[in-house]
Structure 1
């Protein structure tokens, strides 16, 4: 790579995308949990975690705490290799029907312009890794499951839940050492505000289109 190529790579514009509700029409974590455990078990466990989800939606419980309680209930004890295999299948069999056309159109446009595209999501790498690689993303930052010594999931997260302020931290990490000509951000909720606020051009899905965030 010549010096010129390196500097071009360094100055490439970058587009940062949230996943759930931005590139998809809704949440993917609960459908993934249902895919892993099967419908009867999913609904049986949902009865156990619904007070947790209710407390989260009422803003009485932090996102990361609620999420780990739910993940523990559904995924604890599964071998991580098994979960990645199921994640790969979920990314191929379920996610395509959940994609938001307007979000995917923005992604394709940025890729056609030669911009770097980065996925920053609170969802799990189990299915985002294969999905992001299939759709040509340059980088992925997401939540990851912690594993016990025997390679089985504990249900806890490894590191921070990639949500809210953490998304901004990941964005800054990606931009460190780069001199991007300009940056774009796409999200759909207040959990994306910190990330969108760190870009030159932030857009939030408002139910009809991606509207510029001032």
Structure 2
């Protein structure tokens, strides 16, 4: 049992997810990190110095069984789970007519089902405790599509998650559960080839990509806020403000 608050983070082994793990550990949270790869989670933990207060749960978040195991592990280790961050997902831009059935299924599995199942388990746990927070990581391009980045299918799914955030916030508000989202612009991570940085920098009015730490700052705010729910917070250098 622990008196510290506990956060569950999906997609925790790299990129924004790993940055969130670092930020929440530094802020005094216990962290349950989920990823598909056991090796990836082990490497992430090692990179963090195998900290106390961190446990990894391997499994595909697109299955309800993984969501159940994440919360079971958190409850067994720390007594409760206070915050869920639905971070797992991937971005696949391409012309709409070129999305294959496999592309569509993969996007639906991770980007949609992974949020649904984890949020169901979280909501049931948090309703019983009369408190909690669910934070979804969506995408600024779902707020303002861009002709230079054809991505109709990710926009469809992430845009739906923005509305899901608002709807679930209303439904869970009587239970003292806040539901919010952070909508990142293009964030500088190892997934982006340095040769593309010039193009990517120009997709935001700020003239640069965002940093993982800037997303973490926004998520930490929502994890600690008491009078903020149903919000989709863009952290995107102005990308979602409109065409420029």
| TM-score normalised by L of structure 1 | 0.28
Relative contact order, higher structure (CA 8 A, sep 6+): 1
- Answer 1 or 2: which has greater strand percent: 1
| TM-score normalised by L of structure 2 | 0.26
